[in-house]
Structures are given as structure tokens and as C-alpha cells.
């Protein structure tokens, strides 16, 4: 997180003194361009950062400057603490544990403010049902990013087959409650995002790599990447009992209430495996009205499910 990086960068410069942009980039695992943007942000925030030219140049904070905890309110410190605690629970990394303790100390030093008093929002980045397995993967990937070591993956493709990938891990991303790895893929010769839950095997390799200029994740077009395919006009009718799940799948402007208590959903969607799976998960609470091809596909899949149970032969399609 940028706020966490800026605070850690300020503390580091106060403790160590002058550091070059390259050293800071390596320390915080970002590009040199990002470091220059961060220095501008710190300057606008009132922190007296000086840029010195020459072979021994770099960035440093003016003498006698101290980081006053009153630059942030107890509520702001509590919000940062909540976010860092969430990261600490998900990722086994001493850095986050140390940062949690620092924020706790800042809160405890404020009279009348306790840790829980400032923690009105709780972040939990641990994936559902994966527990220690996900934490182990995250810890390995954090190590790979920090040490710039290649990682070997056995990754599950969308068609269910396995494929081997060798990647240069760049960053971990939490998006929509799901962890992803941004990495340069040696097989595809380009940057890719890999879903953590689809990594069947993960191994750190001895070989190291030179850091490449990666696409900025804060401006990454996730929705475009997620959808990918061509969108189709779809019209669905739902029973009233399905209402509790609407917010997880559809936007309010796509939903129209019917007098009988049911609902109609109309919009443009990418009709792929994921979308068909979502519709099937509603069981008999949904009917596809348009397009006919989608209605036939859902019907065909439902019939195949019935045949599996009627025949007793799971290999039969």
C-alpha cells in the first residue's frame, strides 16, 4: 500500500540518512520512477526531503526533522493499523508484524485512545477456506519478490488442464477478496496475473532475475482483463428467493422488480464458463429468457448433471 510505503520510507530516511533512488527502489521493490513520485508526495505533505545530485547524491530529510505522531489523528493511525494487521494475518512477514507494533505504540501513547477504539474497520485478507496453504504461498511469493528469484508454477488453466510456468514475481495483489500474483512469464514473454488459488504447485528457484518495468497496478484495467471476451445482451428472470445474492453478481441498474415478487435482470455480459457457472449456482431460482443459445446451454448442462446422478456412472457425459 502506498501510504504504508511512504511512512516506512520516511522512517528509513530519518534513521539511515541519505539514500539513492536506486537503493530506495530496491528496498521497497518498486521502480525508480515510483520513488521520484513518492518523494514529490512527501514534499507536498510538508516533509522536508532534499534531493542531492552527484555520485554520492540521493534523497535525505533535513536535520532536526522528526516524525511527529500528531501528523496523524488517532483515528487515522487506527485505520492504518487495521489495514496492516489484515496484511500481517494473511502474509507471514516480519515487516508487517513490526509495523503493527509501531502503530500500536503510537495509539497507546495517545491518552484516552486504545487499539480497539481506533479500529472501527477490520481488514481480513485471508482467502476463504484456504488457511495456512494460502499463507505459505504468499510467504514464498513475498520471498521471491524480495530476493528477485524465479518461481516455478504448476498452474490450472481454464479448461482444467495443468501447465508449467516459470515466472519473475513482481507484486501481490488483493482484488475482490482474491489474491493474485503479477509476474513476468518466461513462456509468454510478457507480464501476466496468476490467481493464487489456481497454483497447484509453487517452488522458489535458485536463479535470480533483473527487475523489469512492470505495468502499474493502480491503473491496471482489471475489469477489461476479467471480462476479456465479447459481451452479449442477456435477460434473466429470478424468483424472489434469489434476491439476497443479487448484490454479489449484478448492479442495481440492471435489476427490475416484478409485481409477483420476482426480478428481471437485463444487461450485457461476457457469456463464458464463469457466467454459466454463476447461473447454474442459482438452481431453479433463475430462467434465461434471452438469448436462446444461452438458455439452451444452461438447459443442456442441467440435463448432463441429471444424467450423472441417474446413471450412477460419473464418466458418462
pLDDT tens for the chain, 317 residues long, are: 577 788 788 878 876 788 898 988 988 888 999 999 988 888 888 888 888 888 788 888 887 665 555 556 666 666 666 666 666 666 666 666 666 666 666 665 554 444 445 456 666 666 655 566 777 888 899 899 989 999 999 998 877 788 999 999 998 887 767 788 999 999 999 998 898 888 999 999 999 999 888 777 655 555 555 545 678 899 999 998 888 887 778 888 888 988 888 999 999 888 888 889 999 999 999 999 999 999 999 999 999 999 888 887 776 55
Distance CA 265, CA 253 (A): 9
DSSP 124: -
Task: Give CA separation, 301 vs 51, 127, 306, 307, in Å.
Answer: 64, 29, 9, 10
CB 239 within 8 A of CB 285: yes
Distance CA 41, CA 159 (A): 45
Distance CA 304, CA 192 (A): 34
DSSP 69: G
pLDDT confidence of residue 294: 94
Q: What is the largest CA-CA distance in the chain?
A: 80
Distance CA 9, CA 63 (A): 16
- Percent composition of the chain: helix, strand, coil (DSSP 3-state, to 5): 45, 25, 30
DSSP 217: G
Evaluate if pTM is beyond 0.85: no
CB 286 within 8 A of CB 236: yes
CB 200 within 8 A of CB 182: no
Cell readout for 148 is 528477485
Start-to-end CA span in the chain (Å): 48
DSSP 294: H
**Angle at Cα 99 formed by Cα 95 and Cα 101, nearest 5°?**
120
Strand ranges for 53-97 from DSSP E = 58-61
Amino acid at each position: 500500500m502506498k501510504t504504508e510505503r511512504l511512512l516506512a520510507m520516511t522512517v528509513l530516511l530519518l534513521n539511515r540518512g541519505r539514500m539513492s533512488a536506486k537503493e530506495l527502489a530496491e528496498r521497497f521493490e518498486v521502480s525508480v520512477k515510483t520513488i521520484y513520485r513518492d518523494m514529490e508526495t512527501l514534499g507536498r505533505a510538508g516533509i522536508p526531503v532534499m534531493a542531492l545530485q552527484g555520485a554520492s547524491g540521493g534523497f535525505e530529510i533535513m536535520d532536526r526533522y522528526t516524525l511527529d505522531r500528531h501528523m496523524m489523528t488517532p483515528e487515522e493511525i487506527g485505520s492504518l493499523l487495521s489495514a496492516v494487521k489484515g496484511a500481517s494475518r494473511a502474509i507471514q512477514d516480519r515487516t508487517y508484524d513490526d509495523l503493527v507494533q509501531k502503530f500500536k505504540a503510537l495509539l497507546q501513547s495517545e491518552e484516552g485512545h486504545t487499539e480497539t477504539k481506533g479500529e472501527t474497520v477490520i481488514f481480513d485478507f485471508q482467502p476463504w477456506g484456504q488457511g495456512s496453504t494460502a499463507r505459505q504461498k504468499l510467504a514464498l511469493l513475498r520471498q521471491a519478490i524480495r530476493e528477485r528469484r524465479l518461481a516455478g508454477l504448476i498452474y490450472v488453466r481454464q479448461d482444467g488442464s495443468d501447465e508449467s510456468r516459470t515466472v519473475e514475481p513482481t507484486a501481490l495483489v488483493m482484488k475482490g477478496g482474491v489474491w493474485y500474483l503479477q509476474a513476468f512469464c518466461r513462456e509468454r514473454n510478457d507480464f501476466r496475473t496468476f490467481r493464487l488459488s489456481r497454483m497447484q504447485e509453487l517452488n522458489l528457484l535458485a536463479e535470480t532475475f533483473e527487475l523489469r518495468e512492470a505495468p502499474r497496478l493502480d491503473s491496471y484495467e482489471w475489469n477489461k482483463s476479467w471480462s476479456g471476451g465479447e459481451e452479449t445482451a442477456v435477460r434473466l428472470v429470478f424468483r424472489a428467493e434469489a434476491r439476497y445474492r443479487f448484490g454479489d453478481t449484478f448492479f442495481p441498474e440492471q435489476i427490475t422488480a416484478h409485481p409477483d415478487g420476482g426480478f428481471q435482470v437485463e444487461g450485457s455480459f461476457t457469456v463464458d464458463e464463469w457466467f454459466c457457472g454463476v447461473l447454474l449456482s442459482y438452481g431453479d431460482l433463475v430462467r434465461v429468457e434471452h438469448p436462446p443459445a444461452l438458455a439452451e446451454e444452461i438447459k443442456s448442462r442441467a440435463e448432463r448433471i441429471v444424467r450423472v446422478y441417474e446413471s450412477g456412472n460419473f464418466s458418462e457425459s
